[in-house]
Copies of this chain bind each other. A is one copy, B any other.
């Protein structure tokens, strides 16, 4: 069975995601669409608005055949790591193609770009070393590096989806059998848009509507099931976890904070001080913000802190990857059966306690996520893949 992968977050699932799954199938001619989806904490360092099992079920009802969890150690990361995890899992699943959204670069040859980067990594690193202290942001620096080395494409590293696309392409080119790449032009709603269009809206706009109790204004951009879930299920945000993060930052010693993944350069002092005097996550972020740290980087640090994650645990997770199945349709299940013997990573269809060590970060982050609302069910143990017939 021919398959096409998509790497997603679904925060929450909306019509644009439905369209993406549909187009992935159409463009690639694949029989099976595989979504590698972030779990309960997301790339930009946020808790998912709805838990991963609910989001997986929504996806399975709207064009996806198989949902695999992207582990925390890859999901809550900058584009390169996020992409590395997603591509690793799709490759392990013997996936034939990858379809990803791109903002204004659907015409670009991503494959060529990926091959170029793989051949010229030393040159790229050298060029980066020369300008890395020029005071610009990392995206701006990367734009500059590639303007010099790869002039034929006007690469722009400030568009989040495009950056991810480039990262997928780079990563994919490192494999023996790269997947076919299908960039998909986004229709209407850009990543950061907060306006709601007729039938599409960005996830950002939808979350905003949910938390300001204006769900009625966005029903038309959501599948019916999702609209119902957003009312009936627990919806959480960073503010939900703020009392716990505040407690964590206040009750930890500086030495303990220093042990948190990515906590360096003295930022631990700044976070602790900001926590003491803030009454909301928003206020905390505004106080902690510096030129040196982007909002997203700080949010990731907050997520690592909340989940008490260390460098060693992240590396341990990288070294012990699994294909954790959140759900499948009949077709997705058939695909798994067909490929079972050729999978490059061990398959998990039920988390058992003897994976406590390998899955430490994922299990812990699931438990912390569950503290956000008493209606959130157990996220790890005793859960079987969702099966949609």
Contacts and interface: CB of A to CB of B under 8 A. Distances in A.
A307 B256 CA distance: 13
A377 to B, nearest CB: 13
Interface stretch (A12-20, A200-208, A283-291, A363-371): A363-371
Contact of A276 (B247, B251, B279, B367): B367
A374 interface: yes
13 contacts: A243-B244, A244-B247, A247-B371, A248-B251, A250-B364, A250-B368, A251-B306, A251-B307, A251-B364, A251-B367, A256-B308, A276-B367, A279-B374
A274 B144 CA distance: 54
A247 B250 contact: no
Interface of A: 243-244, 246-248, 250-253, 256, 276, 279, 306-308, 360, 364, 367-368, 371, 374
A374 B252 CA distance: 20
Contacts of A250: 364, 367-368, 371
Contacts of A279: 374
Contacts of A360: 253
B247 A368 contact: yes
Contacts of A246: 371
A307 B248 CA distance: 10
A276 B367 CA distance: 8
Nearest to A259: B256
A367 B252 CA distance: 11
Contact of A251 (B243, B253, B368): B368
A383 to B, nearest CB: 15
A250 B366 CA distance: 10
Contacts of A247: 244, 247-248, 368, 371
A243 B244 CA distance: 8
A137 B251 CA distance: 33
Contacts of A371: 243, 246-247, 250
Contacts of A244: 243-244, 247
A308 B374 contact: no
Which of A243, A244, A248, A279 has the most B CB atoms < 10 Å from its CB? A244
Nearest to A356: B254
Contacts of A243: 243-244, 371
